[in-house]
Structure 1
């Protein structure tokens, strides 16, 4: 979760308790489409600045809340799949090119020029996702090389990346187990250095500071397993919170609801299966408050208002990824054929405020 939202609950801020409520139901509004690219990277800086990335070396940016978009094909990377993007403002963004070879590029001028800040031509190299805990500290993960997940980190805003050494890297994967580059959402990094990874394929597991935990999700084939994880941090991303959610399923059977979601209320010590699961395979998931969650996939968007226990379908529009503004109230989705959608959380005036 990249920002802190409330839905008819108390929002705790430094000056006291600030109670708000929604003035409208959640509605997914498609605001852009037609670009040929399949968009899987999405970064929402605030209510105005949004970046997306996808196939064909495509990067898109809006500076007015999605009303208009500037589309870029990065020169020299016309055939590269940009599966994830992290943006810090209207000028600075980092984009991930999956492989072979694998690249990480950075722009400091709003996408006018791009610099290769990491390159790896190793056979089998395939980068899946990245996450930043702060504007300086980030992590990138990739499919296993010699039985271990590829992991690299940055401490200087992505200007350079350092690969985790074999001695330090304890993330071992089994044969046929890997990560999905579906939405840039299978890794979460926190300021204290903790990170969480979810895998799929022949096995689906959670790797965390506690070790590796088998997940009771659909698995056993190349198209099954966990795709995304989100952790509610209360808007203070120093360390993970108690509430967590993982989604996935089978992208080859996108309407199947079999073992496609798990949620935890105790920091991942135990995991529960929803009473009513999301309505199909889901590749992206985001908390919008402590108990409100959105999940998206090829056949639609689901919403849970009870922490993942039950889900209802709110849109049949398919998307790969969903992200919330780091600062603001907007939620954006991105998917195939340049499809971008938005939910605006229109809040009423506060009904009470305690100093």
Structure 2
């Protein structure tokens, strides 16, 4: 979705967290930047050592040493593409989503650590604009979402690990509100939890969350308490689920990035959204911290927040701007943003 003049904004696969409740001390970010001027909204971390980022001018980088060094592994002909989402299975297998109208929306895949890439999907409908991509555990099944076409959000699916993609029958998708769309801001407007559940976030004329319990074929939709704003780009930007019932939503308004009032919500049943505490400003991404079931991080251009009570309250711990955040099962967390900025979570 085009959000501001000259700027195009665009997921992270969420898994169930362990049941233990390890304490999380005062957090901070440790910078491990990539040597590029590209904005890095695409982020997928495998563990504390291995992470992938994708950029605003076709770049893809990979680290296998915790960010000490980065390898430029971008597709050779992707210089004009806005790679806003990257989904990685390990250090060798990854997929990136390019966003934009018509053929600008496409998916590329590597199985050799970025040495070679293949294009597995190119959007052939000029009305579609793909925002986010997500995979279920195991990596065979995945989905990507487009802004509404013919009045409904469009979903494509893969059942072979991304080798091929097909459009899902739109009959199971509730109608969109006129002027409702998704935000291609951090790759987390579409997320999964478990083997069947998937959620889709919207903004603009409506601020809602769509939920499917059958891997994206039929959906229900719920309003959230995050205010919509079609004129200035307001609504739900990011979702995170620690299991199919417990989730967080964050967002805001691009026109007022320092305003965090009413910009977070939570659910305890996977579908009913309640007002959460106020983060420190507009936030483009949120993620649960593994091993600490009530702890999550939220990031945006004006800083980073932490909650230790499931989103009821938030505390800003950094004023460094990031666009994306993801945590890994071994206790690591990563963030990425503009100008090649990347950081790991020290705790």
TM-score with structure 2 length normalisation? Answer: 0.88
**Count of equivalent residues:** 323
Indicate the residue corresponding to 1:237 in structure 2.
Answer: none
| Residue pair 1:138, 1:189 contacting (<8 A) in 2 also | no
CA distance in 1, matches of 2:73, 2:270: 40
CA contact (8 A) 2:287 2:296 kept: yes
Say which SS state the counterpart of residue 337 (structure 1) adopts. Answer: helix
Which of 112, 115, 121 is residue 115 of structure 2 equivalent to?
112
Q: CA deviation at 1:137?
A: 1.2
Match of 2:266 among 263, 268, 281: 263
Corresponding residue number in structure 2 for 1:217 = 226
| Structure of greater Rg | 1
- In the other structure, the counterpart of 2:216 is none
- Superposition deviation, residue 4 in structure 1: 6.1
Unaligned runs of 5+ in 1: 12-18, 234-239, 346-355
How far, CA to CA, are the matches of 1:71 and 1:256 in structure 2?
36
Cα contact 2:193–2:241 (8 A) shared by 1: no
Q: Distance in 1 between matches of 2:175 and 2:78?
A: 31
| Post-superposition offset of 1:232 | 1.2
Distance 2:195 2:90 in 1: 23
**Paired position in structure 1 for 2:147:** 143
For 1:208 and 1:4, locate their aligned partners in 2 and report how far apart those are by CA, in whole Å: 17
Following superposition, the deviation at residue 54 of structure 1 comes to: 1.6
Change (3 A) 1:40 1:162: same
Match status 1:292 vs 2:295: yes
What is the alpha-carbon distance in structure 2 between the residues aligned to residue 312 and residue 318 of structure 1? 15
Does the CA contact (< 8 Å) of 2:41 and 2:186 recur in 1? yes
CA contact (8 A) 1:5 1:329 kept: no
Are positions 1:154 and 2:163 aligned together? no
Q: Is residue 52–residue 63 contact of structure 2 (8 Å, CA) maintained in 1?
A: yes
Counterpart in 2 of 1:229?
239
Structure 1 residues 171 and 34, CA gap change in structure 2 (3 angstroms):
farther
Quote how far apart the aligned CAs of 1:265 are: 2.6
Query: Gaps spanning 5+ residues in structure 2: where?
Result: 1-12, 213-218
**Where do residues 39-50 of structure 1 align in structure 2 (5 Å cutoff)?**
39-50=40-51
Cα distance in 2 between the residues matched to 1:182 and 1:217: 16
3-state DSSP class of the match of 1:28? strand
Identify the residue that residue 187 of structure 1 maps to in structure 2: 190
